[in-house]
Structure 1
Amino acid sequence: MTIMKKTLMLLISITFVVGMGCGSSGNTSGNSNSNGIPGWVENPGSEYSEAKYLMAVGSGSTLNEARGDAFSQLSQIFQMDIDATQQLTTEVIDRSTNNNFYSESTSQLLNNIKIGTNQELMNTSILTSEVDKFGTYHALAGMDRAETSRIYSQEISNNQIKISEFENNASNESNILQKLVLLTKARAVASANEVLTRQLNVIQGGAGTGGDATTTLTRIQEKFRAIQQQANVSIQSDNATYTVKSAVAGAFQKEGFSIIENTENAILGVTINYQTQEANLNRDDAEFVKWELVIEIEDKQSDRSFRTFMVEGRDGAPSYSDALKRADFTARNKIEKDFAQFLNNELLQIN
């Protein structure tokens, strides 16, 4: 073979290799459908292993929008697969987190059911992204199943230890209020564990069921309801209006207490002092009322007194009677918001 022929064959070989390389580069038009949309948008498993990743696709007019939508769609997998009737709402999650019932890790894992744009989930990354011929961006988010399952399993195990501790302490406690507090904490952590277990099952490719965690939660709820029947509160007041007194009773009932008239059978004694008086502001177009609300709580089993709740305000209206009604309305709002939080903090911080 002449040198000229060898050179020509070498050039042909190089051209062939380069051509093959160009065909497998970042241009994925060969894997797109007739609309120019990447094949992995409709079938993520065609690009990445479904056994390794829990995946979701997002789209948007920008890459950031597509990424955020992908994370959101991944969150919705938890939201759709977890039983819609389960009792742990976002409000309960947030409230229990604020009371430090959960570890930071549990709180982070619970966030996986909160759907929000650009919320990056644990062990989740954008596996690939591409813009189609119409200018729409697509992104594929994937959560590493094995590593995430390991983290969930460890946190569920840690929470089981906490639940057992709260539950055992409640069984050994004679004070009804203490029992209620301990079982409230146990119920909160057990509720979180049920959600984590459901999430874990989804990550592992199964149905979003709670299994043993649901059994534990049901057991603690039954104990909680049994103690609730003994958690009686008596409310006394010489000057509280019906609106104010009802609002205070509602705050206790929301925490699981029952309101009774007989003070002897009550574990908590509540005294309400609601003072109103005319406030002269020298206005011809309105009358004003100055009011003060003081609520005192006593643990009748241990003779322990809690901190006093106190709030005051001033309300006006065209007439004095209307100003009194408005004062009642404002006081009720303060009770439903501020006193409810005060009560929750006071009762649930008992050691």
Structure 2
Amino acid sequence: MNPSVYNKESDMKNKYFLMLIILTALMFVSCAGSKGTGGSKGKPIWVDNPAAAYPEKDYLAARGAGDTRQAAEDNASGNLARIFKSEISVDQTTRERYSAFTKLSGSMDETLETDMDQIVKVLAGETLFNVKFSETYTDEMGRVHILAYLDRKETADIYRDKISANYEKIEFLLKEADSASDPVDRYALLNAAHTMSTINQAMLEQLNFIHPPSHSMLTAQYDAINHNNISKKRAEAAKALTFSVNISGDDGRVASMTSETISQMGFPLVNQNAAVRITGTIRYEDVDLQRDNMEF
């Protein structure tokens, strides 16, 4: 074979192989650059159109921005929480009481604490489970953008488990209250049931927004447990729980304030044979503050 012909064929093969390598590399670069984008200059498509990346039928999503990633996450989480516009108000005291009840042993071992993949955000008056975040995007001004989102189906499963567990605890508390003879015990059990039911009502409303079919299934399954009925039972138990206040050495102010607080909570005040007796002694002493040499 002519050596010059062989060299030409070899050069052609080498050039073809080199071109194939270059084209393959370009394809990888193109794929890597297009992932999660779709806007100009590599900007993720969700920055301008969240629904294009996270379809509304499958996700709830909200954008956020800030000077740092944490600030952007907080802003996005708050915007996501405000989507719910919950009409059920759960104050911090109720949340703390719920957390205390669920930390009890036995049948109340579940808490509001979640695994790392079930992040809880308490923002804008809402407690949201399973909040996740997209990749970040930093614009030309250095502003960090991020998307907070919930997977509807995945999050609905979490809500169903928590709500069902709460319903079972509420059922247990109501049965115990029905059999309780002591008015203090009866009220305490109904108060615990009411606290858990209040949390459940808030989560049910959120679930109805996230995944209506799951909400319908749960409300039908536990239709015998009615929040309004629990509230009425607790109010009736409060009326049966009598209090008396006896503060010796008082000029009337402490006893008056104490009695007013008890009445505001729905408990009746009696002079004798009270289920709960509040007694105390007030003693005043002169205290030398050693201010003789102080100038004002």
TM-score category of the 2 structures, normalised to the smaller one: 0.7 to 0.9
Q: Secondary structure at the match of 1:279?
A: coil
Specify which of 107, 110, 131 is matched with residue 112 of structure 2.
Answer: 107
Matched, 1:40 2:42: no
Paired position in structure 2 for 1:347: none
Specify which of 266, 269, 272 is matched with residue 263 of structure 1.
Answer: 272
In 2, Cα distance between equivalents of 1:183 and 1:106: 19
Cα pair 1:101 1:185 within 8 Å, conserved: no
In 1, Cα distance between equivalents of 2:246 and 2:36: 77
So what's the TM-score if we normalise by structure 1? Answer: 0.64
Specify which of 237, 241, 245 is matched with residue 227 of structure 1.
Answer: 237
Shift of 1:153: 0.9
Cα deviation, 1:220-260, whole Å, max 9, x if unaligned, reads 00111122222221212342122211232244345432223
Higher relative contact order (CA 8 A, sep 6+): 2
Paired position in structure 1 for 2:286: 278
Q: Which has the higher strand share?
A: 1
**Amino acid corresponding to residue 96 of structure 1 in structure 2:** Y
1:174-193 aligned at under 5 Å gives the runs 174-193=181-200
1:117-128 aligned at under 5 Å gives the runs 122-128=129-135
Residues 271, 256 of structure 1: alpha-carbon distance in 2 compared, 3 angstrom cutoff: same
In 1, Cα distance between equivalents of 2:35 and 2:283: 76
Q: Secondary structure at the match of 2:164?
A: helix
List alignment gaps of at least 5 residues for structure 2: 1-7
Cα deviation, 1:258-310, whole Å, max 9, x if unaligned, reads 223x324x322222211113235665479xxxxxxxxxxxxxxxxxxxxxxxx
Aligned length: 276
Shift of 1:75: 3.2
Q: Secondary structure at the match of 1:186?
A: helix
Residues 30, 166 of structure 1: alpha-carbon distance in 2 compared, 3 angstrom cutoff: closer
In 2, Cα distance between equivalents of 1:238 and 1:170: 35
Shift of 1:32: 2.4
Matched, 1:58 2:64: yes
In 2, Cα distance between equivalents of 1:30 and 1:67: 20
In 1, Cα distance between equivalents of 2:233 and 2:71: 47
> Could you tell me the percent identity over the aligned residues?
24
Paired position in structure 2 for 1:132: 139
Residues 216, 134 of structure 1: alpha-carbon distance in 2 compared, 3 angstrom cutoff: same
Matched, 1:75 2:81: yes
Paired position in structure 1 for 2:95: 93
Cα pair 2:238 2:267 within 8 Å, conserved: yes
In 2, Cα distance between equivalents of 1:158 and 1:206: 18
1:1-351 aligned at under 5 Å gives the runs 19=26, 21-26=28-33, 31-32=38-39, 38-78=44-84, 80=85, 82-83=86-87, 86-100=88-102, 105-108=110-113, 112=120, 114-115=122-123, 122-204=129-211, 216-253=226-263, 255-260=265-270, 262-264=271-273, 266-280=274-288, 284=292
**Amino acid corresponding to residue 184 of structure 1 in structure 2:** N
List alignment gaps of at least 5 residues for structure 1: 287-317, 319-351
So what's the TM-score if we normalise by structure 2? Answer: 0.74
